[in-house]
Structure 1
């Protein structure tokens, strides 16, 4: 079969040359389209289901949230394994799929099953899917340099301005906020006053919740004019909460300020984010979407941050906490340099070894064509250009020229035998 293939190639040498040129051009475009990362993504093909039920112990979370979810998610096709973790107020379920399963098909199947499992969970407990990123998706971290702004205002700026802007960048799956305090209205109730006014804590909670809402009315027509009636009830400041009536005492309304005090504070924190030991900071973590070009995503995020920075308050700027593009570009440039050096060294050795420029050229020309084809295969299998893949290409250069040298020597040997046979036949 090999002999027939060689004969076919020799008879159609121009066609073979045209195919090689076409593959080389295709490979050049494949190099431009191939995702770039520092390290290969060896994480499992998984979908994360996160459920929050604050104030509950890990055992309650395990029994009433984690167990029902795991039991119902096991029926999804093409699942390899399911892992779960229960902690204080939170549940994590990791659904591991087979490696050849499309991640978005997997997320759709999990979401379908969650719609059914929702009825088995406690009231007001809603499971959500994690971002469509991988274990190496944390590509960029940033924080604010805002010496004149408190941590609560910084966190509000991050959650309600910066986060939404950066999530519009193509390839970004999520921007996770960290540090600071999440602002909240805090109602400090005096139990003695509750008992005096005969008001329960649950009544206070329900009244405050019911009074923080806008309500719709209907259209009212008068004198050829139409008026839309609606009730404005959203809380805007601490005073609005203090004036909410939670009951009555001898016909007199009992307001929130009568049974306690209201203040602006921060939500309970389980940790802090410290920068270089100089104090707390607020920022975000950019998570790249599955299969995206990490280097391109980081550069696009940086460009977006330049526009976002124009709208920040005076004296507030961005600082980079972690930037994988430095590692990516440094690693790729180093491998590229070594790859070029190896090609040059191999080409020189081939020329000196064969000492025949036509034979050496036929071998050396195989190197760029083979490398170009390897990038076509990388794109076909969804692999990125990283330290591992480029190093493998560099190591394979020696094998490429070995095959060419062996074929050239074998061709010269057969030609020599044929010439000697022809000379012996001549009288």
Structure 2
């Protein structure tokens, strides 16, 4: 079978070109990250019970939800936190490889069953379930240079004008503003007034609920014999301080009415004041950008930077955007360093092979085989769902020194066969491959046996080992395929018997310097080898010297 590839070099070339093209196509579509995503998929359930302390929240809200969610498919463990501000957060962690979207749906189904067991106030406030994005790639702050704009204004400006643009970027999983400073109508009750009027907070909330609501009034004269039909309009929920102040809490028997402004102070402000953000002495608000699994962080950050540049042109005077964290800088720097190492390693291998083989034609064969193995690896990385990260690139750097050996073994075997016989390159290649093909397969299997088992480790550490080991093993396997197909075909085409007829005089004179250099190198290398062998003989006879050393 191997003879077929040697006699039909086009077949070997087509196989290599196909691998090369598939690798190039995959290279343009593979996600780029600094490290593989090792964080387990997480789904977060949040709820709020206004006015309750941590103990009440844990007992009446957290416990029913925990009991309902416990045991959801592929769950590993969960953590819960209840606070004195009435909030509850439940994080449910799943085994590595679980689809976070499916996990969120399963958790939501369990939470829905528990809603009937928790207080109605908590249900009305909202119980949300969402998957947690762990890979933050950028944090942007909107800062005011003075006190003209407060944190509440800045956060709402971000939510209205910036967050929708960021969430439309392909690959962005979530654009999350930090803080809870949404514009809200705050009602500050006056306990002494409530006592004087014999009212309770429940009376106030009931009045607000009844008089500030969305409703569908309908129509007048519909389906009747009247000439005109009138559509009734209702302004909906109240949105001004004055409207809230005029809400009627209680009507007395004498015809007087107690309004909300009589028992409370109404203020249009922030939803909470539990946090405060300051940058360079001025108020600020920030938004974090998270990427989805399998997305290209470099493309996301480039597009986000464009959106921020456009967004900055529409900002009010005295407000500016500040990029507090950007993983693109470290990502580009790290990957560029690995790319340079990859290129340098290839050049060094090419030089070393040329010096020792002392033939440009022989050097050309490993130089062709190595890129095919390295670039072809990207196709299989895409099949396995890997990303271009520091680990996979580092594996490719190491693979250069390993995959070049297969091509060198073929070239050296053909050289040795031609020097010991009068066969031409094609016949020498056929005989050489019949002798060394078993050795190439054995070397490949031994190397694969070293790396492949490591890739089956579990847990977060297993993700690192898997991407590194499988990338290296794939490159080695492709190199073996090249050594059995491409390298023999190229050897039969490129190599010439050293005992063949010499070239023309002009060409021979041109090669004179190279021959003199290689002759001197061989003499020096042989002398160094002899000294090394003599030193080994000396140490073997005097073992105490080696042991003491």
Contact 1:85 1:92 in 2 (8 A): yes
Aligned length: 413
Offset at residue 95 of structure 1 (A): 3.1
What value does the CA root-mean-square deviation take over the aligned residues? 2.6
* Aligned equivalent of 1:290: 293
SS in structure 2 of the partner of residue 86 of structure 1: strand
SS in structure 1 of the partner of residue 141 of structure 2: strand
CA deviation vs aligned residue, 1:276-333 (integer Å, no higher than 9, x gap): x534311211122222111111222222233333443344332211111111122222
CA deviation vs aligned residue, 1:163-197 (integer Å, no higher than 9, x gap): 23322222222221125843332223222322222
CA deviation vs aligned residue, 1:188-229 (integer Å, no higher than 9, x gap): 322232222222221111112222223222222497332211
Aligned partner (choices 117, 122, 127) of residue 119 of structure 2:
122
Offset at residue 344 of structure 1 (A): 1.0
TM-score when normalising by structure 2:
0.69
CA deviation vs aligned residue, 1:327-355 (integer Å, no higher than 9, x gap): 11222222112211111111111111111
* Aligned equivalent of 1:101: 98
* Aligned equivalent of 1:259: 263
Change (3 A) 1:233 1:366: same
Q: More displaced, 315-324 or 88-97?
A: 88-97
Q: Which runs of 5+ in 2 are unaligned?
A: 428-549
Greater C-alpha Rg:
2
Aligned partner (choices 134, 137, 140) of residue 139 of structure 1:
137
* 1:390 maps onto 2:388 in alignment: no
Q: Separation in 2 of the partners of 1:132 and 1:171?
A: 15
Q: More displaced, 233-242 or 344-353?
A: 233-242
Q: Separation in 1 of the partners of 2:267 and 2:324?
A: 33
* Aligned equivalent of 1:15: 11
* Aligned equivalent of 2:167: 167
SS in structure 2 of the partner of residue 217 of structure 1: coil
Q: Separation in 2 of the partners of 1:92 and 1:261?
A: 31
Q: Separation in 1 of the partners of 2:4 and 2:115?
A: 64
Offset at residue 267 of structure 1 (A): 3.4
Q: More displaced, 395-404 or 38-47?
A: 38-47
Offset at residue 132 of structure 1 (A): 5.3
Q: Separation in 2 of the partners of 1:49 and 1:8?
A: 63
Contact 2:34 2:390 in 1 (8 A): yes
SS in structure 2 of the partner of residue 263 of structure 1: strand
Q: Which runs of 5+ in 1 are unaligned?
A: 423-427
SS in structure 1 of the partner of residue 88 of structure 2: strand
* Aligned equivalent of 1:328: 331
Change (3 A) 1:297 1:132: farther
CA deviation vs aligned residue, 1:217-248 (integer Å, no higher than 9, x gap): 22224973322113224223211111111002
SS in structure 2 of the partner of residue 185 of structure 1: strand
* 1:33 maps onto 2:37 in alignment: no
* 1:402 maps onto 2:405 in alignment: yes
Contact 2:32 2:298 in 1 (8 A): yes
* Aligned equivalent of 1:150: 150
More helix per residue: 1 or 2?
2
Q: Separation in 1 of the partners of 2:288 and 2:271?
A: 20
Q: Separation in 2 of the partners of 1:8 and 1:109?
A: 56
Q: Separation in 2 of the partners of 1:384 and 1:96?
A: 23
* Aligned equivalent of 2:342: 339
Q: Separation in 2 of the partners of 1:380 and 1:130?
A: 29
CA deviation vs aligned residue, 1:249-275 (integer Å, no higher than 9, x gap): 332111112223222333334433333
* Aligned equivalent of 2:531: none
* Aligned equivalent of 2:65: 69
Q: Separation in 1 of the partners of 2:8 and 2:54?
A: 72
* Aligned equivalent of 2:207: 207
More strand per residue: 1 or 2?
1
Q: Separation in 2 of the partners of 1:414 and 1:74?
A: 70
Contact 1:70 1:84 in 2 (8 A): no
Change (3 A) 1:102 1:266: closer
